[in-house]
Structure 1
Amino acid sequence: MSKTWKIIIFSAIGAFVLCCGGGAAGLFFIVDKSTKAPKAAASDFLTALEGGKIQAAYDMLCTDTQANYGPETFETFVAKNPPSAHDFGWGGSYSNENGTETASISADVTFKSGKTSHSFEMLKEGGAWKVCGDPY
């Protein structure tokens, strides 16, 4: 193989690697930016629970979830197994369908019984991100 062809092949491989790396970095930036606010809201929810601020956490639930868990039921549920720590991994998912913004955020939540993974279903309601579905 001639020296010219080697330069062309290695240049093409280099360009391909740079494009893939740039695409991956771009994807990371887009996902990170779109899930930043819902992840912060999920963290606020867990921090409130870890601090024993049950009413504050309850206020961070979406309307549908509050309808499924009355304040007393929620407090009893949390008292049985309160979280003590949490950690979020990278990413999550975000959707905006017909003006309804939702996100799914994964976290490792530590309880007395151990650590478990949980996916928080988030809904932007009244301009604020709220925890929906199974709170934890």
Structure 2
Amino acid sequence: MSIIGVVVVCCGGGVAGIFFLANSSTKAPKAAADDFLTGLEAGNTQAAYKLLCGQTQNAYGPETFDAYVKKNQPTAHDMSFGGSYNNTNGIETASISATVTYKSGGKSSHEFAMRKEGDAWKVCGNPY
């Protein structure tokens, strides 16, 4: 095997390894973001509200959040990209990408800022 062949095999394996690690580290935050959006789509804003981090719950009271969602409720979402994960000084965060379709028929891309609180991943920042 030539040196070029070895480099291609090594680089390809490294890229596959990075993809695997990124995919496995974003699995739980992606599932939490999916649960959040599924709750909103079903009109279950109370369940979705419980999936917000404490900081975001403080910014949006339950009634404000409910009114915000009802103004333009999501009806579907696609989360084909895994996102990114970070652990800085024991604070675990992730960014999960989604395309959200709303009852108005419009679509938008949204980055869900996720944060691990205790054993659960929560949506932080702008909910959608």
TM-score of the superposition, structure 2-length normalised? Answer: 0.96
Query: 1:92 Cα shift?
Result: 1.2
1:135 alignment counterpart: 127
5 Å-filtered alignment, 1:78-93, equals 78-93=69-84
1:123 alignment counterpart: 115
Q: Once superposed, what is the RMSD of the aligned Cα atoms?
A: 1.0
Give the counterpart of 2:93 among 90, 102, 109: 102
Higher Rg of the two aligned structures: 1
Give 3-state SS (helix, strand or coil) of 1:19's partner: helix
Unaligned runs of 5+ in 2: none
Provide Cα deviations, 1:38-58, integer angstroms capped at 9, x if missing partner: 000000000000001110000
Structure with greater proportional helix content? 1
Query: 1:107 Cα shift?
Result: 0.5
Identity %: 65
Q: Deviating runs (4+, > 6 A) in structure 1?
A: none
Query: 1:97 Cα shift?
Result: 1.2
1:4 alignment counterpart: none
Query: 1:90 Cα shift?
Result: 2.2
Output the amino acid matched with 2:108: T
Give 3-state SS (helix, strand or coil) of 1:84's partner: strand
Give 3-state SS (helix, strand or coil) of 1:26's partner: helix
Unaligned runs of 5+ in 1: 1-9
Query: 1:26 Cα shift?
Result: 0.4
